[in-house]
Amino acid sequence: MKFAIVESGGKQYRAVEGATIDVDRLAHDVGKSFDFERVLLMADGDAVSVGTPTVGGIVVSATVVDHVKGPKVLSFKYRPKKRIRVRGGNRAHYTRLMIDFIGKPGDKPAKAEAKPKAKAEKPAKAEREAAAKPSAEKKTAEKKPAAKKSTSTKKTEKK
């Protein structure tokens, strides 16, 4: 698994190739691709490159998927016997990024190397309908016999 530690907005994020991450709001339009400027670490299986402070020659490219809001964080200040109650809240703005490629600029992305699988052909519509509906012969054979009515009545005699 190929991953990198990148810095954006003074915070560090673990970027995995093919996954999404939420970073602090960036001034990029949805659908735009860009490269991270600061790559601090890059790992590909057992090969690990640690930067001092950054790794040279490594590109981490990402595409902006969406701009989203985070969960609401509420704060409440309370001082007993003083009639002070202050309620506040905040909802952070994030940019959701899809990590497209991690590696050297000349390498190919992992998605381009994978070959698409051939789709299996669907059976004809008539065959599918015939398989879905049971035949009329089976229905008549599966009918249950009618329940027998009880005809015995018990007579009670009075003396």
Q: Quick one: residue 31, left, alpha or beta (phi over 0 = left, psi -120 to 50 = alpha)?
A: left
* pLDDT band (50, 70, 90) for residue 60: very high
CB of 23 closer than 8 Å to CB of 8? yes
Encoding tokens for residue 96?
Answer: 């959701």
The percentage of the chain sitting over the pLDDT mark of 70, rounded to a whole number, equals 68
For residue 109, what pLDDT band results from cuts at 50, 70 and 90?
A: low
When comparing pLDDT for 157 and 28, which is higher? Answer: 28
Please tell me what DSSP assigns to residue 118.
Answer: P
Res 43: pLDDT: 92
What pLDDT digit, counting tens, does each position of 14-49 carry? 999 999 999 999 999 999 999 998 999 999 888 988
Res. 124: pLDDT tops 70: no
Spatial distance between the Cα atoms of 18 and 98, rounded to a whole number of angstroms: 7
CA distance 156 to 159: 10
| Nearest in space to 16 (alpha carbons), one of 87, 103, 86 | 103
Residue 45: the pLDDT is 86
pLDDT surpassing 60 at residue 112: no
What does the pLDDT look like over 65-102, one tens digit per residue? 999 999 999 999 999 999 999 999 999 999 999 999 99
